[in-house]
C-alpha cells in the first residue's frame, strides 16, 4: 500500500510507505483526504476523511448574530401566537477546508422545557459565507415562551461554535 494526501495542504504530509501523517505548526484546521492505494493495482484505493483541528474549533468560524423574521421577511421583536418565526444566521468558514456547521433553534416554555426545535446543517466551503435558516411555528398560547438559537459543529458532536441567543431578550 502507498499513502497519499489528495489535497495540496500546507503543513500536512504523509509517509507514502507507512502512512504516518505529519502535521506542522503551519497546518490549518479542516478536513483532508488520506488515500491508501494498492501497490499492485493502482486502480484499487480507499479514501479516508481526516479532520484536523489545528486551533480551537470555535475559531474555525465567524458566526453572525441570528436574525428573527416573519415569513414576509420582516424583522420581528416578539413572538406571535400561531405564527412562524424564521431564524437566519450567517456562518463564515475562516479555515481553508470545507467544514460542516449546524444552526439549531429551540422553543422553550415558561418552565424552560423544549416544546419544539429545528435545525439546518450545511457544509460551509473554505473561506465562504453560508446563511443557515430554521423556521419554527409558535403554538396558540405563547405566554412565557422564548427561543434560543445557536450553532454547533453538528447535532451528533454538539461542539458549540457560538453562544446561545435568546429571543425575545426580556424572557427569563
**pLDDT tens digits for 38-94?**
999 999 999 999 987 655 566 778 899 999 999 999 999 999 999 999 999 999 998
What is the four-CA torsion angle of 122, 123, 127, 128, rounded to 10 degrees?
Answer: -40
pTM here is 0.68
Contact of 79 with 85, CB cutoff 8 Å: yes
Amino acid at each position: 500500500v502507498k499513502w497519499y494526501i489528495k489535497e495540496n495542504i500546507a503543513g500536512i504530509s504523509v509517509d507514502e510507505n507507512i502512512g504516518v501523517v505529519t502535521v506542522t505548526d503551519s497546518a490549518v484546521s479542516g478536513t483532508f483526504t488520506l488515500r491508501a492505494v494498492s501497490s499492485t493495482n493502482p486502480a484499487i484505493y480507499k479514501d479516508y476523511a481526516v479532520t484536523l483541528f489545528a486551533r480551537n474549533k470555535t475559531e474555525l468560524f465567524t458566526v453572525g448574530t441570528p436574525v428573527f423574521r416573519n415569513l414576509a421577511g420582516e424583522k420581528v421583536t416578539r413572538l406571535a401566537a400561531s405564527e412562524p418565526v424564521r431564524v437566519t444566521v450567517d456562518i463564515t468558514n475562516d479555515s481553508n477546508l470545507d467544514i460542516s456547521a449546524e444552526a439549531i433553534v429551540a422553543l422553550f416554555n415558561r418552565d424552560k422545557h423544549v416544546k419544539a426545535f429545528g435545525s439546518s446543517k450545511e457544509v460551509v466551503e473554505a473561506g465562504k459565507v453560508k446563511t443557515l435558516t430554521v423556521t419554527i411555528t409558535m403554538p396558540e398560547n405563547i405566554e412565557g415562551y422564548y427561543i434560543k438559537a445557536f450553532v454547533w459543529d453538528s447535532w451528533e458532536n454538539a461542539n458549540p461554535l457560538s453562544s446561545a441567543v435568546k429571543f425575545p431578550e426580556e424572557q427569563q
